[in-house]
Amino acid sequence: MARPRQLPEFSEYLRLQAEGQSSSSAADGFGCLASLGLSAAASYFLYVKSGFFAAALGFVGALVVSTIAIYSLLKWMGKPRNQEQKRKRELGDAVKFLSDKARTGSLRKVISPHAAAIFEFSARQWARMRGNLNSPTWSADTLPLHWKQVRDSIETSSNQSMQDLLLMLQPVAGGRFDKDQWFIYYDSALEELNDPSRISPQPIPHKFAHAVELAQKMRKLASEFEGISVKVNESTELRQQLGGRTAVDDALDDLRAFQVAEAELDLDRLP
């Protein structure tokens, strides 16, 4: 039997994060268009003033100069200026690197089996929370304020935890594991994460203790969030029922008001 796709939950997480990085590519594309636009404008001006040959030389010169200028500007704009921007840059690099490896099925070659197991386990918890967050209940505009605060806190915590793990574990190289040995350690680590009381023949090394602790907290948060979601669903359903009755009452009141106004208008028309 063929082994399933490597790290399916973590690969899906990487794909979603990589899609969110399209803005930087759009900025680069804008720079290229701007460069061509400036070059075309310069060549047209020279063509009007000096003819075709001068316009051709002017186009080439303007293209080179404008390209260098815009590239320098974009590079300066993208340079991290504080810790927050530095973290964002490092996360972007990690996501791009790992998502490329995920697409080619070669994650095993760049991260250790223990780090891979923690990534997969944590991405599974992240997906559980994301599934609830994207439900009609949690995404409704009519959600009460205190539940909206819970929703925002869960979303921030789940995203922050995955980002912390990326920066924490991404540098851990695959190491010298052959394919079979890698999967033995990976499966063992994943079983240990799923059942911490289990005595593993290949326990997760102590250097991963902080990452393991964070992954377990993510599982606890996902489980508690699922329990809270049941209460929110019940509360929302009750509010929707009350809202339905209120809407009917409002419609009846409007109808009665219209009837009263119409009766008064008829009285005014009497001789």
**pLDDT tens, position by position, 27-85:** 444 445 555 555 555 445 544 555 545 545 544 555 555 566 555 555 555 565 688 88
Q: What DSSP designation does 79 have?
A: S
131 neighbors 31 (Cβ within 8 angstroms): no
3-state secondary structure (DSSP) of residue 59: helix
Structure confidence by residue, pLDDT tens digits, 77-108: 556 568 888 888 999 999 999 999 999 988 88
* E-assigned strand segments in 70-226: none
Give the CA distances from residue 79 to residues 18, 25, 30, 32, in Å, rounded to whole numbers and listed in that order.
Answer: 20, 15, 18, 19
How far is the C-alpha of 22 from the C-alpha of 11, rounded, in Å? 18
| Long-range contacts, stretch 237-246, CB < 8 angstroms, 24+ apart | 239/142, 239/144, 243/142
Q: What's the whole-model pTM score? A: 0.69
User: Amino acid identity of 58?
Assistant: G
Q: In the structure encoding, which two tokens stand for residue 91, read together?
A: 């996360």
